[in-house]
Structure 1
Amino acid sequence: MNVLSNLSHQLINRYYRKRYLAFKQDMSAFKDFQQKQLRKLLTQSEQTGWGKVHKISSEWSYKKFAETLQASTYEDYHMDVENQMVSKKPVLCLECNRYQPTSGSTSGRKWIPYSKELTTEFDMAIGPWIGDLYETYPAIIKGKHYWSLSWMPDELREKLSDLDDLNVFGWWQQMIMRLTMASPNSISHAKTAAAAQLATLAYLCSCRDLTMLFVWSPTFALNLLEDLYKYRHELIRILEKGKWGDYQNLLDKVDCPKSKSAARILRHWDGELTSDFLQIIWPNMGLVSSWDTASSEAWANKLKNFFPNASFQGKGLFATEAVVTIPFQSEYVLAYKSHFYEFECLETGKILPSWELEKNQMVSPLVSTGSGFFRYRMKDRLEVTNFMDGLPCLTFKGRMNDVDLVGEKMSPELVEAIFNNMEKKFSLIKGVSLLGVEDLDQKPFYLCIVEGEGKVVRDDLEAFLEKELKKNFHYNLARDLGQLDHSKVIHEKDGFKFYQELAMKKGMIKGDVKLEILSKIERKQLEGVVL
């Protein structure tokens, strides 16, 4: 690690330690911070077109706020967002020059106004979290870090070439952070996602002092590692010569790294991806971070096994629209200095402010943020697991993605139980995802993706799946009434790869695909698949 990187780490550590300590010290007064945040958001909204239409008042109490404004979704704002993007006027929020797209299919993409206030709110969560990283995992200070943030689909790359995730930081923080990063932000200027992936691998291989691997989805990291073999020969040529070669046109705005030692390691690699090989490439890896709860747990465990000598940290609930929790002292605590938070109790349907939460409640968050969104539903399922000095700790349990094709009320928890039973019944077989297949011309049905080396007769798997599904009263009734066709199973050696391919047919890019244990697709996405 060079002198500048070392100095940058020291400055980051010192600055964010103050934010870490302040966050910890103020926890017991989080209700006061939340009420002040609500007042601040209402004051700003008074000055916007939306606020004037809805007669927003900074004098509202929480009770008046909750009685006056209904819970909302993106559909309640999308026309105002488009109006603000075109007119440049404060329709929803003040001082907004950036709009961030959410991941997802083209038709389902949302554009979130990243106002000055919203970026400040994100920074209020990132500060104590980074401070906790340096406090808890001191090994990361000894080298470079890889941060996987926003990945853009090809059709948006030219339009959003100036998008920079570091814009949530101040200019001096951006400058210092860049000195600690293993790959440059210029990779976002790559003309295709595949070229960006190759460039990322080249930089990671050349970074022999990599100490932290930060990704959102563990499946993204696993794909990245598997692509080392896919691009092995290209990477050897690139790293030996320090030139992009055939990829120059796609990466013309990205400097090319050079590392003959990394090229030599790849040349002598037998192609088998093992923890020993990764230890040779990155001998100082100190921390790997990704989602590790709900449907990501199994993939996170697989990622951990590749780095047995590194620590592992799960993720808080960060979304494009808002941050809800951050990892802090081995818990996932409410980011109480960021937005204003409410939670719907999933048992009673009652919406509560954060200071009224109780342990063991299953809840779904609603956020009011500097983007101008108020009481915005996040569609995530959280469990209140603990309290830290009075501040709620919440664990992500999955998306609110119950599937209901004809009234059968399928839930992620039910699917998880089925997959657990399947693994006990069939050796070396693992459930990946259950897909509700919509079909306007034929009966809808459920398709189960399984993977593994186990040799099982497909009819046996389908019979078992159908028996398990029929334990759900509503599914059984729908089958008896002829509303649903018999469930089907597709057995793949790499089930997640197959899942990815289906998602990409829907318009998603590889880096955005997040495995859902239960989701819905259209029959046309299965074109060419033998069922």
Structure 2
Amino acid sequence: MVIDAWSRIADLTAATDAGFRAGLSGVETAQRGTLAGLISANGSTAFGKDRRFAEIRSAEAFRDLVPIADYAALQPYIHRAIGGEDGVLTTEPIRFIEQTGGSSGGSKNIPYTDTGLRSFTDCLYPWLADLIRRRPGVTRGRSYFALSPVGRSLDQRIGVHRVGSPVPFAYFGALRDSLIALSAVPMELRLLAHFESWQRQTCLHLLACEDLALVWVWSPTYFTEILRAMRRDAGILLPQLTSMLTATHPAAAVRTRIETLEKALRDPQGDLSVIWPQLDTVSCWTDASSKGFAAELQALFPAAFIQSKGLMSTEAAVSFPYGDGPGSILAARSGFFEFVDDGGTSHFAWRLEIGQAYRLIVTTGSGLYRYDTQDMVKVVGFDGDTPRLQFVGRAGMVSDLCGEKLTEAFVAHCIGKIGLGQQQAYALVVAATEPHPHYRLFLEAGPAAAAFNEKLDAELAANPQYEYARWIGQLGPVQATPVEDLYGRLKRHRLKGGISIAGMKAPVLLRQADSELIAALEATGA
């Protein structure tokens, strides 16, 4: 079964892979053609009429006539489309809605059309073909793909549209059946409403899968949290696994497997490779805020290849791991991409300079036009004339430990909602990675300080990625620490570091804080 499934995947991805490789030296042609197709297909939409698509004959004219937009600027159109109005952003119908974080309101609703789905498929096919070519070990076993949020109801809707695809592996097109056959975990587990049940069953099926060869997750913390649960709950999981395996495996094989797992899970810091001796590749985010978490995963599986996922977000498929060289290759036919430099000038993909960092602007088949992702990428090389990109972080003040993308405006809104703006003089939220990713709330000391832990946690959950990361254990709960003269101590710390405080605005969110600042604040804890 495993050999046949991987063989079908290799056959089905071959043509797309060959076409992608052939186009690596024609990024301008690919990009201009992609944009022309999107403009032609959607000229009759409400957005197309408002932005004079009928007059656009080139990428340069598109840049001149359509302004760069954030989510708030596109939201009125998205709201109309979600409400059931046809032809607002695309002539194609909306298939479903995906939610993500990063807006001042906490949640963004992103529509998906068939063209939008194909933009992901057009990345995933050459990625898989290249993975099989470079890492043949993945074809010797089964796989685990963490794609859809756990516990999402198939009946959940926003407006008239379904939230999420009703079928698993929707982004993989014709590969869907083969990937389901290879999955170490049954598809129906994604429908379990209770997190504890989902986690328990996921752990059991992964521990039962001795031939696991490929793991595909977004944040590395998703997988490390599953591993943490295996160690924590081994005393409960292994007896259940014994009963589960006894029905299909010889008694001697079951004893050997359980003994191996007991030994591996007993050591809290040990190498976990013996659990899955055929694990060849773990695909996950490895850049920016995920770098340290990916290194933790590598230490747990020193023999496995930790593959950077590239830049794939809810909004757009931008880049993916492919070929030799650093970074990930631009998905030149999956959307139209612009790159804004520090001076505010927008550059096309065929006009980029190696070593330069840019803010990414995307135009997609699902109806995002010149959408400002706030993602920062650095050009680290070229294949042909197609740029290779490395994600280096988020522009502006956005904290992103596990994919939650908390903006400072959103955090400030949450702080105001729980009354800190009225009852407390100042509050500061700081991203923390030790001993487990979480957010710390520093606030001016007062008798009610401890009450704000759960209140802020609940408000931050208006961001769906934060809520999900908390639910599955990627993020720990908010930890509040009352501090005497919080703002004064922050200013004195900055002065000590040689930073001018003239006109200094009081920050509400820090993506990271140095150990000296944390120590200074903790020393004043009430």
Q: Give the aligned partner of residue 339 of structure 2.
A: 343
Partner of 1:70: 67
Matched, 1:285 2:283: no
- The amino acid that maps onto 2:366 is S
Residue 318 of structure 1 corresponds to 312
Which residue identity does 1:355 align to in structure 2? W
Asked if 1 retains the 8 angstrom alpha-carbon contact of 2:150 and 2:198, the reply is no
SS in 2 for 1:470: helix
Take 1:400 and 1:389, find their aligned partners in 2: how far apart are those partners? 29
The 2-side partners of 1:21 and 1:302 are apart by 35
Per-residue displacement from partner, 1:267-291 (whole Å, max 9, x unpaired)? 5666323444x22221111112221
Q: Which stretch shows the higher mean deviation, 50-59 or 369-378?
A: 50-59
Question: How far 1:374 sits from its partner (Å)?
Answer: 0.4
Distance change (3 Å), C-alpha of 1:338 and 1:451: closer
Deviations 1:29-68 (A, max 9, x none): 1111111111110112113232233332275221211111
Please report how far the alpha carbon of residue 185 of structure 1 lies from its aligned counterpart in structure 2 after TM superposition. Answer: 2.3
Amino acid in the other structure paired with 2:425? Q
CA gap of 1:449–1:15, structure 2 versus 1, over 3 A, is closer
Is the partner of 1:173 in helix, strand or coil?
helix
> What CA distance in whole angstroms lies between the structure 1 residues aligned with 2:6 and 2:270?
27
Q: Any idea what SS the aligned residue of 2:26 has?
A: helix
Segment of structure 1 superposing worse, 293-302 or 153-162: 153-162
3-state DSSP of counterpart to 1:367: strand
- Which residue number corresponds to residue 231 of structure 1? 233
Structure 2 residue aligned with 1:382: 377
328-337 or 157-166, larger mean C-alpha shift? 157-166
Q: How far 1:335 sits from its partner (Å)?
A: 0.7
Partner of 2:116: 118
8 A contact 1:343–1:353 mirrored in 2: yes
Please tell me the residue identity of whatever aligns with 1:336.
Answer: A
| Distance of 2:13 and 2:50 partners within structure 1 | 40
Which residue of 1 is the match for residue 35 of structure 2?
Answer: 38
Name the CA shift for 1:90/1:260 in 2 (closer, same or farther; >3 Å): farther
Q: Is the 8 A contact 2:51 2:65 kept in 1?
A: no
CA distance in 1, matches of 2:193, 2:525: 34
| Distance in structure 2 (CA, Å) of the matches to 1:389 and 1:398 | 26
Match of 2:443 in 1: none
State yes or no: 1:373 paired with 2:368: yes
93-102 or 82-91: which moved more?
A: 82-91
Assess, with a 3 A threshold, how the Cα gap between structure 1 residues 107 and 207 changes in structure 2: closer, same or farther.
farther
How far residue 327 of structure 1 moved from its aligned partner, in angstroms, is 0.9
Pairs within 5 Å for 1:180-329 = 180-242=182-244, 260=254, 262-263=257-258, 265-267=260-262, 271-276=266-271, 278-329=272-323
Task: Report the Cα distance in structure 2 between the residues aligned to 1:393 and 1:281, rounded to whole angstroms.
Answer: 35
Alignment partners' CA distance in 2, 1:355 and 1:452: 43
User: How far off its partner does 1:7 sit?
Assistant: 0.6
> Structure 1 residue 17: deviation in Å?
3.4
User: Is residue 284–residue 307 contact of structure 2 (8 Å, CA) maintained in 1?
Assistant: yes
Report the CA distance between 1:95 and its aligned residue.
2.6
| C-alpha spacing 1:126/1:260, structure 2 compared with 1 (3 Å) | same
Cα gap change, 1:366 to 1:375, in 2 (>3 Å):
same
Change (3 A) 1:369 1:451: closer
Q: Work out the CA distance in 1 between the residues paired with 2:513 and 2:125.
A: 34
> For residues 240-278 of structure 1, what are the alpha-carbon distances to aligned partners after superposition, in whole Å with 9 as ceiling and x for unaligned?
3349xxxxxxxxxxxxxx9945555445666323444x2
Identity of aligned residues (%): 25
Q: Partner amino acid for 2:108?
A: K
Query: Aligned residue pairs: how many?
Result: 439
Normalised TM-score (structure 1): 0.73
Distance 1:185 1:274, change over 3 A: same
Q: Secondary structure at the match of 1:328?
A: coil
- What is the SS of the residue equivalent to 1:150? coil
Residues 138 and 475 of structure 1, relative CA distance in 2, 3 Å threshold: farther
RMSD (Å) for aligned C-alpha atoms: 3.7
Query: Does the 8 A contact of 1:48 with 1:92 survive in 2?
Result: yes
For structure 2, the 5+ residue unaligned runs are 158-162, 246-250, 401-405, 437-482, 515-523
Superposed CA offset, 1:379-417 (max 9, x none): 1111112122111111111111437xxxxxxx99xxxxx
> Equivalents in 1 of 2:13, 2:513: separation in Å?
39
Aligned to 1:362: 357
Give the partner amino acid of 1:328. Answer: Y
Show CA shifts across 1:180-214 (max 9, x none). 22112222211133332222212111111001122
Cα offsets for 1:448-494 (capped at 9, x unmatched): 747479xxxxx9xx999877633677663356xxx649x9xxxxxxx
Question: Are residues 390 and 106 of structure 1, via their aligned partners in 2, closer, same or farther at CA, if it must alter by over 3 Å?
Answer: closer
* 1:132 has 2:130 as partner: yes
What residue number does 2:10 align with?
13
**Which residue identity is paired with 1:119?**
L
CA contact (8 A) 1:381 1:398 kept: yes
